[in-house]
Amino acid sequence: MKRIFQIGFNRCGTTSLHRFFEINNIKSIHWDDGKLARKIYENYSQSHSLIKGYEEYQSFTDMVYKDEHSVKEVHVDLFRALYNEFPDAIYIFNDRNPTDWIESRMKKGRSAENAKCQLGLKTDAELKAYWLKRYIDHKNDVLSFFAKKENFVHYDLDEPESFGMLIDTLNKNNFKLNVLTLPYANKTYNAKRNAASSKSEKDRLMGVPYSYDFNKDRYQKSVYSAKTVLSIVLDALPPVHSAIDFGCGVGTWLSVLQEKGVEKIQGLDGPWLEQDLLKIAKQDFREVDFEDTISSDKKYDLAMSLEVAEHLSPETATRFVDSLVLASDFVLFSAAIPFQIGQNHINEQWQDYWADLFTERGYVTFDFVRGKIWTDKQIPVWYRQNILLFVKEGQIDKVKVTSLNEEDSNFPISIVHPDKYLSKVRRLDSLKKEINKMNSVKGSWR
Contact 166, 155 (CB under 8 A): yes
* pLDDT single digits (tens) 335-345: 988 878 676 78
* pLDDT single digits (tens) 266-286: 999 988 777 888 999 999 999
Q: How many residues does the chain have?
A: 446
Beta-strand ranges (E) seen in 199-308 are: 242-246, 264-269, 285-287, 302-306
Category of 244 on φ-ψ map: left (φ > 0), alpha (ψ -120 to 50) or beta: beta
% of the chain with per-residue pLDDT over 90 = 52
Q: Over 80: is that where the pLDDT of 250 sits?
A: yes
Beta-strand ranges (E) seen in 9-145 are: 28-30, 59-61, 64-66, 71-73, 90-95
Q: What are phi and psi of 421, to 5 degrees?
A: -60, -50
Long-range contacts of 41-50 (CB under 8 A, 24+ apart): 41/72, 41/74, 41/77, 41/78, 44/78, 44/81, 49/85, 50/78, 50/81, 50/82, 50/85
Alpha-carbon torsion angle 197, 198, 203, 205, nearest 10:
10
160 band by pLDDT with thresholds 50, 70 and 90: low
Q: Which of 20, 14, 387, 444 is nearest to 213 (CA)?
A: 20
CATH 3.40.50.150 fits 217-415, yes or no: yes
- Cα 34 from Cα 54, distance rounded (Å): 13
108 band by pLDDT with thresholds 50, 70 and 90: confident
Q: What is the mean pLDDT of residues 10-16?
A: 91
**pLDDT computed for residue 255 by the predictor:** 96
- For the chain, the domains span 4-95+150-212, 217-415
184-200 burial, b for 16+ CB within 10 Å, e for fewer? bbeeebeebbeeeeeee
Long-range contacts of 210-214 (CB under 8 A, 24+ apart): 210/160, 210/163, 210/181, 210/182, 210/184, 212/160, 212/163, 212/181, 212/182, 213/180, 213/181, 214/163, 214/164, 214/167, 214/180, 214/181
Contact 300, 266 (CB under 8 A): yes
291 band by pLDDT with thresholds 50, 70 and 90: confident
Q: Which residue has the higher pLDDT, 66 or 403?
A: 66
Q: Over 50: is that where the pLDDT of 177 sits?
A: yes
* pLDDT single digits (tens) 392-438: 999 999 999 876 554 445 568 888 888 776 676 676 776 677 677 66
Q: Which residue has the higher pLDDT, 80 or 413?
A: 80
* pLDDT single digits (tens) 374-383: 999 889 889 9
Q: What is the mean pLDDT of residues 316-320?
A: 92
98 band by pLDDT with thresholds 50, 70 and 90: confident
Q: What is the mean pLDDT of residues 116-144?
A: 90
* pLDDT single digits (tens) 195-246: 333 333 333 333 333 333 444 555 666 899 999 999 999 999 999 999 999 9
Q: Over 70: is that where the pLDDT of 265 sits?
A: yes
Query: The dihedral of CA 332, 325, 340, 142: what is its sign?
Result: positive
Query: pTM value?
Result: 0.59
Q: Over 50: is that where the pLDDT of 302 sits?
A: yes
Long-range contacts of 122-126 (CB under 8 A, 24+ apart): 122/444, 123/441, 125/437, 125/441, 126/441, 126/443, 126/444
* pLDDT single digits (tens) 339-376: 786 767 888 888 999 999 999 999 999 999 999 999 99
